[in-house]
């Protein structure tokens, strides 16, 4: 493991020193070098994760498919979303936007006497239990993400953006990142804001993002298995989340859908939105059956999302 970490650090340093830094110098943006160093690491981690997720999940989709498709063309755009989101412009843009904003908020809060506490200072007994501390951070982040997801379905304007994610009729592990760019920005601000307020250390922030991304990729995979009666209640499984994307199930009913959790289904159980029945329902949105168009290409999907947002689609 140490050898892998050292190899990654060496690759990160080489890319930054030989490609990113000269580019910043040529463009006159050397004042952004610290920000660019962190962004380079984040992008490189994204590339590593794309490769790892593909090698792990693509065989599972081939061996245990929930649906068999003779034509996989609908998946292609989702691949572009994944590359842009995990190793492209989206994380760089969000990082560039949030870093100065969080620094500004941090400075103002410190003037008012508030310093993000960190779990260890609130629960001193966890100071010598890093794994338990990290798990508790995950629980808090996942609770916040659960309510963010609930609001995406409940508020019409937000659903106008989030519905793009649900419009995929060929859901696969690539679908996790199929989001409107404005939706990505809002979700990024939400997640980073919660992480800041609870004092999540930067290195644990990266680890939390990587872990949650992997589970989300798995939960969107085109596979027909779950984790069993107990396992499905401990961690969000592909079966559990496929129900959330089911036509006539994922955005209907009193709660505007079901199975909103990212990691831990316990939130759905507590708040009455859990549905553990697996129906094998096709994925998508009910209004697609009446002919509503969500677009096929990346640009069309983004444009139609804006039109829905302003009430013109």
Q: Which of 19-28, 87-96, 286-295 has the weakest average pLDDT?
A: 87-96
Mean pLDDT in residue range 231-259:
92
* Rounded Cα gap, residues 271 and 283, in angstroms: 24
Per-residue pLDDT at 95:
67
Residue 127 token pair = 């100071």
Q: How far is CA 115 from CA 2, 121, 123, 203, in A?
A: 33, 11, 16, 18
Per-residue pLDDT at 221:
98
How do residues 161-184 score in pLDDT, each as one tens digit? 999 999 999 999 999 999 999 999
Measured at the CA of 29, the angle between CA 26 and CA 33, to 5 degrees, comes to 110
* Rounded Cα gap, residues 299 and 165, in angstroms: 14
Q: What is the DSSP string of the chain?
A: -HHHHHHHHHHHHHHIIIIIHHHHHHHT-GGGHHHHHHHHHHHHHHHHHHHHHHHHHHHHHHHS-SS--S--GGGHHHHHHHHHHHHSHHHHHHHHHHHHHHHHHHHHHHHTT-----HHHHSGGGGG-HHHHHHHHHHHHHHHHHHHHHHHHHSHHHHHHHHHHHT-SS--GGGGG---HHHHHHHHHHHHHHHHHTT--HHHHHHHHHHHHHHHHHHHSS-----HHHHHHHS--HHHHHHHTBTTTTT-TTTTSS---SS-THHHHHTT--------PPBS-GGGGGT----SSHHHHHHHHHHHHTT--
* Rounded Cα gap, residues 160 and 248, in angstroms: 17
Q: How far is CA 79 from CA 53, 62, 161, 180, in A?
A: 12, 17, 19, 14
Per-residue pLDDT at 211:
94
pTM across the whole model: 0.89
Percentage of the residues of the chain whose pLDDT score is greater than 90:
54
Mean pLDDT in residue range 207-232:
95
* Alpha-carbon torsion, ordered 98, 104, 106, 108, to 10 deg: -150
Nearest to 53 by CA among 209, 169, 217: 217
Confidence of residue 208 (pLDDT cuts 50, 70, 90): very high
The answer to whether residue 12 scores a pLDDT higher than 80 is yes
Per-residue pLDDT at 71:
83
The answer to whether residue 32 scores a pLDDT higher than 80 is no
Per-residue pLDDT at 310:
93
Nearest to 295 by CA among 306, 311, 283: 306
Per-residue pLDDT at 91:
65
Measured at the CA of 54, the angle between CA 285 and CA 234, to 5 degrees, comes to 65
Per-residue pLDDT at 88:
66
């Amino acid at each position: 493991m140490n050898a892998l970490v050292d190899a990654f650090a060496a690759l990160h340093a080489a890319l930054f020193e030989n490609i990113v830094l000269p580019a910043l110098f040529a463009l006159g943006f050397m004042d952004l070098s610290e920000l660019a160093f962190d962004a380079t690491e984040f992008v490189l981690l994204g590339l590593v994760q794309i490769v790892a997720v593909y090698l792990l999940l693509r065989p599972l989709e081939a061996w245990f498919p929930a649906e068999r498709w003779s034509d996989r063309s609908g998946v292609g755009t989702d691949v572009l979303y994944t590359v842009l989101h995990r190793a492209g412009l989206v994380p760089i843009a969000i990082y560039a936007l949030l870093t100065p904003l969080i620094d500004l908020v941090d400075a103002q809060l410190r003037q008012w006497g508030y310093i993000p506490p960190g779990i260890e200072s609130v629960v001193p007994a966890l100071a010598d239990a890093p794994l338990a501390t990290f798990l508790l951070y995950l629980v808090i982040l996942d609770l916040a993400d659960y309510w963010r997801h609930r609001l995406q379905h409940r508020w019409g304007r937000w659903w106008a953006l989030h519905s793009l994610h649900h419009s995929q009729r060929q859901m696969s592990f690539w679908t996790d990142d199929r989001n409107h760019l404005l939706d990505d920005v809002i979700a990024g601000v939400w997640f980073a804001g919660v992480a800041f307020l609870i004092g999540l250390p930067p290195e644990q922030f990266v680890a939390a993002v990587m872990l949650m991304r992997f589970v989300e990729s798995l939960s969107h995979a085109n596979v027909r298995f779950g984790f069993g009666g107990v396992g499905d209640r401990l961690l969000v499984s592909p079966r559990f989340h496929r129900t959330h994307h089911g036509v006539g199930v994922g955005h209907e009913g009193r709660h505007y859908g079901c199975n909103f959790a990212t990691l831990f289904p316990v939130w759905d159980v507590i708040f009455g939105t859990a549905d553990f029945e697996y129906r094998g329902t096709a994925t998508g949105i009910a209004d697609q059956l009446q002919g509503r168009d969500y677009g096929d290409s990346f640009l069309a999907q983004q444009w139609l999302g804006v039109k829905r947002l302003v009430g013109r689609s």
